[in-house]
Copies of this chain bind each other. A is one copy, B any other.
Amino acid sequence: MIGDMPKRDPLTRDRVLRGAVTLADARGIAALTIRSLADGLGVKPMAVYHHVASKEEILDGIVDLVFGEIGAGIEPPAPADGWRDQVRRRAASARDVLRRHPWAVPLLESRTAPGAATLRHHDTTLAVLRRAGFPVALAANAYALLDSYVYGFVIQEAALPSDDPGGATADIMGSFRPDEYPHLVEMAVEHIMKPGYTFGAGFHFGLDLILDGLEQALKRVAPP
């Protein structure tokens, strides 16, 4: 051969998964195909199969990568913080992360087994609740509630026409015949179209309401 090509660093399972996340973020989960992924990695499609067994394994892998991001940017859990602050920070981090990867929550439905980062995330959150005095059964209910809220909120955010501050949503809703959907029209005109409205701002309303309710439930089973 003529000269030494700058040897491209070899493909790894990690590079495959990170490439998949980048592609899904940029062009949507439907555009994530083995062929386009290989293209992005500068490699032929079949090279991918040397590092993952199947596309299913890629989907499992990128979901776990995303869960690994949750709590990464959070200041270390100052032990003086109450459980409320810790849970709120983690829930807010989960929502931030999942909103950046809007394809992740829908994928949960079809995943078989959660990955290591996902399990660690769940374990960490449960730890906060248990240490705060939540009995096991209440901690289970609390955690299912918190996760449901975060997942569901993210799904709704992802389903919005765009991330614009209500503009498109309001235009659509405001164009309905008022006699057909009177309350949707009212909501569009009197709320969503107001300057400064964002759907996302409602996240903290629900989160704080849930935390208040959990605090009361905890006091009921374990009076201070």
Contacts and interface: CB of A to CB of B under 8 A. Distances in A.
Main secondary structure of the interface of A (DSSP, over half): helix
A133 interface: no
Contacts of A199: 144
A102 interface: yes
How many residues of A sit at the interface, in one of the four size bands?
Answer: 35 or more
Interface string A101-117: 01101111111110000
Contact of A202 (B110, B145, B176, B182): B145
A147 interface: yes
How many copies of the shown chain assemble into the complex? 2
Contacts of A151: 148, 151-152, 155-156
Contacts of A150: 148, 152
Contact of A214 (B106, B130, B209): B209
A190 to B, nearest CB: 5
A112 B151 CA distance: 19
A147 B202 CA distance: 12
A172 B130 CA distance: 21
Interface stretch (A32-40, A69-77, A80-88, A119-127): A119-127
Given A119-B184, A152-B152, A145 B105 contact: no
Contacts of A113: 172
Contact of A158 (B109, B149, B155, B187): B109
**Which A-B residue pairs are the 10 nearest by beta carbons?**
A152-B152, A148-B152, A106-B106, A151-B152, A145-B206, A126-B183, A209-B213, A148-B153, A141-B205, A123-B181
Interface of A: 28, 30, 102-103, 105-113, 119-120, 122-123, 126-127, 130, 136-137, 139-141, 144-145, 147-153, 155-156, 158-159, 161, 172, 176, 180-184, 186-187, 190-192, 199, 202, 205-206, 209-210, 212-214, 216-217
